[in-house]
């Protein structure tokens, strides 16, 4: 368990490393992160994987045509 002196040493090192102005910003962002994490644990998943029935693929007008880029023909170099 950390004692009071240990916590003061850690705080002093944090002030030296990050600066006095950044300590409240870091604390706020860590607090928000912990809050969001706890919130995400208590809420159900919001991912809906059921396909929508009204989505259709629009026809391109090129059905049945051969696209030279999608299926290149094999060339036999046998002589």
**CA proximity to 39, closest of 47, 31, 50, 51:** 31
Q: Where are the domains of the chain?
A: 4-42
The predicted structure's pLDDT at residue 53: 77
Q: Which residues contact 15 (CB under 8 A, 6 or more apart)?
A: 23
- Residue for token digits 């409240």? 24
This prediction's pTM: 0.43
The predicted structure's pLDDT at residue 69: 56
DSSP state of 2: -
**CA proximity to 35, closest of 45, 43, 46, 44:** 43
Average the pLDDT over 45-65 and give the result: 67
The predicted structure's pLDDT at residue 58: 60
Residue range 5-52, pLDDT digits in tens = 999 999 999 999 989 889 899 999 999 999 999 998 887 777 777 777
Residue range 68-79, pLDDT digits in tens = 555 555 666 665
Query: Is the per-residue pLDDT at 4 higher than 90?
Result: yes
**CA proximity to 38, closest of 47, 46, 28, 30:** 30
């Amino acid at each position: 368990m950390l004692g009071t002196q240990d916590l003061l040493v850690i705080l002093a090192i944090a002030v030296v490393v990050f600066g006095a102005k950044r300590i409240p910003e870091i604390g706020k962002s860590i607090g928000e992160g912990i809050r969001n994490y706890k919130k995400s644990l208590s809420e159900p998943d919001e991912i809906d994987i059921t396909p929508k029935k009204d989505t259709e693929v629009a026809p391109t007008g090129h059905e049945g045509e051969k696209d030279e880029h999608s299926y290149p023909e094999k060339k036999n170099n046998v002589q």
